[in-house]
Chain A
Amino acid sequence: MRARVIVRLKPAVLDPQGEAVERALRGLGFSGVKNVRVGKLVELEVAGDAGLVKAELAAMADKLLANPVIEDYQVEVAG
C-alpha cells in the first residue's frame, strides 16, 4: 500500500529555509508570495490493511520520521 508521511515544522518554529526560499521567489518576480514553509514528504510502501498501516506510519513518525519537539506530521494512505 502506497503511503505518504508529510512532516512540517510546527507553526511556532522559525523556518529560515522557508524565508530564504520566499526571498528567492520574490527575487524572481513572484511579489505576492508570503509565509513560505519548507517541509518534508516521505513516500513509502507498507504491507497491511489501511487501518493498521496508518497506526504503523504514526509509530514510524513518532520514532524517527518526525521530531516531536519541533515537527508535526500527517499520514496519508492511498486507495
Chain B
Amino acid sequence: MSTAVVTFPGSNCDRDCALALREGLGAPAARAWHKDHELPPGTTSVILPGGFSYGDYLRCGAMAALSPIMAAVKRFADAGGPVLGICNGFQILCEARLLPGALLRNHDGLFHCEDAELEVSAGGAGMLMCFDRRQRITLPIAHGEGNYTADAATLDRLESEGRVAFRYVARDAQGNGAVNGAQRGIAGILGGPAGNVVGLMPHPERRSGAHLHGADGLVLLRGLVAAGQRPGEVRP
C-alpha cells in the first residue's frame, strides 16, 4: 500500500510530496511518470503535485490532463480511490474534468507566494476526516493562476453539496478570495464518486513538520493516506 506521486515534465513539488509522506508520516511513497499507463502496483492513493507541468503551455494543466498516466488516475478516481491535486495538480484535475471549474490568472496579475489562512469547509469526512468541520489552518500558497472560477450554477451546486473543501479566510468586498480573486473564496474543492478527489491551490507538503513551521499540511496528507488504506474508516 503506497501513495503514488506523479511526475510530469515541469513538476517541481513531487519530491517534496514524497519526502513529506516518507519522513513526515512514515508512509510509503511510490513515484509515477507521466508516460506510464498504469499507477504503480499497490497504489492506494495518488498525489498530483505542484509545479509547471509542460511549461504551462496552452493553459496550466491542459497538456498534463492528456498524458497517459491521467487515464490511469481517472480510472483510479472513478473507482473511488483517493486523489489529491495540489496547486498545478488542482489545475490538472480541472483540465481533466475530474473536478469542475477552472483556475484563472490571479485577479491582480501577480504571483503570490505567502501563507494563507484557510477554513477546512468540508472537514470531518473522507480525506479531510482528520480536520474538524470549518477548522482554520494555515498553508503556504505559491501560484499565479489560482483564481478559481466556475459558472454560478456550478458554484451553487458545489456549496449545496458540501463540495467546497477549503476557503480563504481573507475575502474581498464581493466575498471572493482577497489574495487571488477566487470566486466565493474557494481554495479547494472535492469531487469524484465518493468525494474522493480533492484539489487545492495551497501546498500541504510545505507545512509538513516543525522544520517547515507547522504541520497543518501533514494532517491533510495523513487523511489522504488513511483514506486509501481504510476507506470510510479514517481516523485522526
Which residue numbers of A lie inside 8 Å of B, CB to CB?
A: 13-17, 19-20, 40, 64-65, 67, 69-70
Contact = CB atoms under 8 A, between A and B. Distances in A.
B102 A14 contact: no
A22 B100 CA distance: 31
B58 A65 contact: yes
Given A64-B58, A67-B59, A67-B62, A16 B106 contact: yes
Interface size bucket, B side? 20 to 34
B181 interface: yes
B107 A16 contact: yes
A74 B150 CA distance: 21
Given A67-B59, A70-B149, 18 more contacts: A13-B104, A14-B107, A14-B181, A16-B106, A16-B108, A16-B109, A17-B105, A17-B109, A19-B109, A20-B109, A64-B62, A67-B62, A69-B94, A69-B101, A69-B102, A69-B150, A69-B151, A70-B102
B95 interface: yes
Nearest to A19: B109
Interface in B91-145: 94-95, 100-102, 104-109
B170 interface: no
Contact of B102 (A15, A64, A65, A67): A67
Top 9 A-B pairs, shortest CB-CB distance: A16-B109, A69-B102, A70-B102, A20-B109, A16-B105, A67-B102, A67-B59, A14-B107, A16-B107
A64 B149 CA distance: 18
Contacts of B104: 13-14, 70
B162 to A, nearest CB: 21
A15 B105 CA distance: 8
A67 B100 CA distance: 11
A58 B190 CA distance: 30
Nearest to B66: A64
Contacts of A64: 58, 62, 66
A16 B147 CA distance: 11
Interface string B64-101: 00100000000000000000000000000011000011
Contacts of B109: 16-17, 19-20
Nearest to A42: B58
Contacts of B147: 14
A67 B59 CA distance: 8
Nearest to A9: B104
Contacts of A13: 104, 149
